[in-house]
Chains A and B, each alone.
Chain A
C-alpha cells in the first residue's frame, strides 16, 4: 500500500528526515517510535503534505501513485488520514458542518453524490458510539475550547467517519488519561481491516498495550535504526532509547 524509499525532508535549512525506508502493506499496523526530536512526527506530517516541510530526496508511493506529487486534499481524497498531534481549533464552524463538508469532498472525489445533513446525522450516530460521545459535540465549533483529550477523540471521530485506507496517528496518545486512551484504541481497532493500514507514531509503549502492532520501528536522528515485532516495544519500554542512540553513534 505504502512504499517509502530513502525519504529526506527538511524544515527550512534543517534536515530532519535523513533517509527513511519503510513498507506498509494492507492489513498491517506499524508503530513508529523514537525519542523527542527523532523526526517521527515529521514523517507523519510529510506523508500528509504539511507545508512546513520540504521533501529533498527519496520517494513515497501510495497505491501505485506518487504520493508526494499530490496536494494534501488529494491525499485525503485518496484515503490518507492524519490524526494531528495538535488538532486545529476552528471557531465559528461547527463540528457537524466541518465533518460533513470533508465527508462530501471525499464522496465527490469518488464520484458519489453528496449527502444531506439529515442523512449525515444518521451516519454520525454509529460513529459517535466509537468515541463514546453524544450528538451534542457536533454543534460545538471544531476543537474550539476542547480539552486536549477531547481534541484527540475528535480526531478519532473524524477518522471513523472518513474511513481512511491509510490512517496515520501522530502521537494521538500523548497527554491522554487511561479512559481516553482506551477510546482512541477502540477507534483504531475498529478500523483494523484487511484492506486498511495504520501507522501509529508514538513516544510511549503504553498505547501499544491496546493496539497491538504488527511491526515496530525505532526512529533516531531521522533514520530508522531498528525494526522488529511487537516485542521490540516492550524492550524499549524496559531499556529506553539510549542504547539505540548509542548504537548509531547518535544523531548530529
Chain B
C-alpha cells in the first residue's frame, strides 16, 4: 500500500504550476518522503494502539474524478442547519462546486474560497501558513494529506474584522465516490483582534458506502482573536475518516472547538492546540455517538507553552452495540507555563454489554504553580436517576432515552451557534428514537 501511494504520488507530481508553486512542491515532496519512510502506523505505535488502521491500509483507494451532476441544493439542505444563506463552500467528492456554494458579500479583506483558487491568487498568505502549522512529522496521515493536498477551504479574516455570519465548509461524498480517498486541506487564519465562526461538515449522500476521507485543518488564531470552530463528522458508517485539526493560538486569543463524531467505520480525529502566548483561553468540547461495529477515536493534545492560560475540555460518548471508542487527552505544561489552569473531562455512557471504551488522560506537567485536573468515567446510567424518572411515571425505556439524551445534551449546550446546537439535539434525538 505504501509503495503504491508513492508511485501514485510520483505520477501526479510534476513541475511547479500556478496551483502548486515551488514552496508547496517541496513541502509535498518532503511529506511524501516522510510517509515513504514510516508507512502507516501499526498497533505497536502507542498513538494507534487501540485503533487498527488495517481497514484503510488493506484497501486500494482511488482519487475521485469530477463532480457528478446529480447533486442539487435539495440534496444539501439537510446538512445546512437551516441556513443555506450562510457563507457556504461546498466540496463534492473533494472538488469545489461553485454552483452549490454561497459566498455572499463579505467585509473588506475577508477571503473565503477554495484552496486551489487561493493558490492561484495571494501566494504570500498561503506560503506563510499552509503546511506551516500541522507538522508532517506527527503522523503518516498528515504527511499523506500534505503530499496529496489539492483542495479544501481557505478562510482568512484580517485584523480587527468581525464576521457576523458563520462560514460553513461542507465536504460531501456521493454514491459515485465509493472506493475513493479525498485529502481535504483547510486553512483558517483569523488575524489579530478578529472574530469568526467556522463550521466544517463531513457528510454523505451514500450512508452505506465505503470511502476514505483524510482531512487536515490548520488554524492560526492571532492575538486577541476569537474563533468558534465546529466539526460535524457524519460520514457513512462504512466509511473511514481520519482528521487532524492543528491550532496555533497567539496571546489573549479565545478558541472554542466543538467536535461531533457520528460516522465512520473507523473514525479518528486529532485536535492539537498550541498556546503560543499568555492569557489564552481554549475550550474543547466533543460528543461521539457510536453503534454497530464503529470505532471512533478522539485524540486531543493541548500544549501549554506559556503562562497564564486556561484550557477546558469536555468530551462525552454514547456507545451502543459492539462499537468502540478511544479517547486520549494529552496536556503538556512547559516549565515556564506557570499559572496554567487546565481541566479535562471524558465521560462515556455504555448502552450495551459489548460496547467498549479505552480512555486515557495523559498529563505531563513541568511547572509547579499550576492547576491541572482530569477525570474519566465509563459507565451506565445512574440507577437512582432512572428510578427518579420512572417514579414520575416514565416507562423504563422512555426514562433510559431521556437520561441518555440528558447525558449528551450537557455537552451539546456548549455549542454557541444556536442553529448548530438545535441540529445536534435533533441528531441525538433521532439516534435515540425520540424521547
| A2 CB to nearest chain B CB (Å) | 16
Bound-state Cα–Cα, A90 to B382, Å: 11
Known contacts A92-B406, A158-B392, A105 near B398 by CB under 8 Å: yes
Of the candidates B382, B393, B407, the one whose C-beta lies within 8 Å of that of A92 is: B407
- Chain B neighbourhood of A50, CB < 8 A: 387
Please provide the chain B residues from 80 to 112 with a CB less than 8 Å away from any CB of chain A in the complex. Answer: none
Bound-state Cα–Cα, A141 to B406, Å: 9
- Chain A neighbourhood of B389, CB < 8 A: 90, 98
Known contacts A49-B387, A87-B388, A88-B385, A102 near B406 by CB under 8 Å: no
- Chain B neighbourhood of A75, CB < 8 A: 391
- Chain A neighbourhood of B12, CB < 8 A: none
- Chain B neighbourhood of A106, CB < 8 A: 393
| B146 CB to nearest chain A CB (Å) | 40
- Chain A neighbourhood of B396, CB < 8 A: 71, 73
Of the candidates B387, B403, B407, B412, the one whose C-beta lies within 8 Å of that of A72 is: B387
Of the candidates B387, B388, B394, B410, the one whose C-beta lies within 8 Å of that of A91 is: B410
- Chain B neighbourhood of A92, CB < 8 A: 405-410, 412-413
| B433 CB to nearest chain A CB (Å) | 15
| B410 CB to nearest chain A CB (Å) | 5
Judged by a CB distance under 8 angstroms, whether B390 is at the interface is: yes
Residue pair A93, B393 in contact (C-beta under 8 Å): no
By size class, the interface of chain A is 20 to 34
| A140 CB to nearest chain B CB (Å) | 12
Judged by a CB distance under 8 angstroms, whether B395 is at the interface is: yes
Of the candidates B383, B387, B395, B402, the one whose C-beta lies within 8 Å of that of A93 is: B402
- Chain B neighbourhood of A98, CB < 8 A: 389, 392, 402
Residue pair A90, B403 in contact (C-beta under 8 Å): yes
Judged by a CB distance under 8 angstroms, whether B124 is at the interface is: no
Judged by a CB distance under 8 angstroms, whether A101 is at the interface is: yes
Judged by a CB distance under 8 angstroms, whether B384 is at the interface is: yes
- Chain A neighbourhood of B412, CB < 8 A: 92
Bound-state Cα–Cα, A88 to B390, Å: 12
Of the candidates A51, A87, A109, the one whose C-beta lies within 8 Å of that of B393 is: A109
- Chain A 98-118 interface 0/1 with B at a Cβ cutoff of 8 Å (1 = within): 100110011001000000000
Closest residue on chain A to residue B386 by CB atoms: A51
- Chain B 410-424 interface 0/1 with A at a Cβ cutoff of 8 Å (1 = within): 101100000000000
Judged by a CB distance under 8 angstroms, whether A16 is at the interface is: no
| A21 CB to nearest chain B CB (Å) | 24
Residue pair A76, B391 in contact (C-beta under 8 Å): yes
Residue pair B398, A101 in contact (C-beta under 8 Å): yes
Closest residue on chain B to residue A87 by CB atoms: B388
Most chain B CB inside 10 Å of its own CB: which residue of A71, A81, A102:
A102
Of the candidates A73, A90, A141, the one whose C-beta lies within 8 Å of that of B395 is: A73
Residue pair A48, B410 in contact (C-beta under 8 Å): no
Residue pair A72, B405 in contact (C-beta under 8 Å): no
Most chain A CB inside 10 Å of its own CB: which residue of B387, B391, B407:
B391
Bound-state Cα–Cα, A106 to B391, Å: 11
Please provide the chain A residues from 42 to 66 with a CB less than 8 Å away from any CB of chain B in the complex. Answer: 48-52
Bound-state Cα–Cα, A93 to B382, Å: 16
Judged by a CB distance under 8 angstroms, whether A84 is at the interface is: yes
Bound-state Cα–Cα, A3 to B406, Å: 37
Of the candidates B391, B407, B413, B435, the one whose C-beta lies within 8 Å of that of A49 is: B391
Most chain A CB inside 10 Å of its own CB: which residue of B384, B387, B398, B402:
B387
Closest residue on chain A to residue B382 by CB atoms: A88
- Chain A neighbourhood of B408, CB < 8 A: 92
| B273 CB to nearest chain A CB (Å) | 26
- Chain B 269-310 interface 0/1 with A at a Cβ cutoff of 8 Å (1 = within): 000000000000000000000000000000000000000000
- Chain B neighbourhood of A218, CB < 8 A: none
| A167 CB to nearest chain B CB (Å) | 12
Residue pair A88, B413 in contact (C-beta under 8 Å): no
Residue pair A93, B405 in contact (C-beta under 8 Å): yes
Most chain B CB inside 10 Å of its own CB: which residue of A92, A93, A158, A162:
A92
Residue pair A72, B402 in contact (C-beta under 8 Å): no
Bound-state Cα–Cα, A55 to B376, Å: 35
> Would you give 17 A-B contacts (Cβ < 8 Å), ordered by A?
A50-B387, A75-B391, A76-B393, A81-B391, A82-B391, A84-B388, A88-B385, A90-B403, A91-B406, A91-B409, A92-B408, A93-B406, A101-B394, A101-B398, A102-B392, A105-B392, A162-B392
Query: A residues engaging B (CB < 8 A)?
Result: 48-52, 71-73, 75-77, 81-82, 84, 87-88, 90-93, 98, 101-102, 105-106, 109, 141, 158, 162
Query: B residues engaging A (CB < 8 A)?
Result: 382-396, 398-399, 402-403, 405-410, 412-413, 435
Q: A-B pairs with the 3 shortest C-beta distances?
A: A92-B409, A102-B392, A76-B393
A49-B391, A87-B388 known; 20 new pairs, CB 8 Å cut-off, are A48-B391, A49-B390, A71-B390, A73-B391, A73-B393, A76-B392, A82-B391, A88-B385, A90-B403, A91-B406, A91-B409, A92-B405, A92-B407, A98-B389, A98-B402, A101-B402, A101-B435, A105-B398, A109-B393, A141-B406
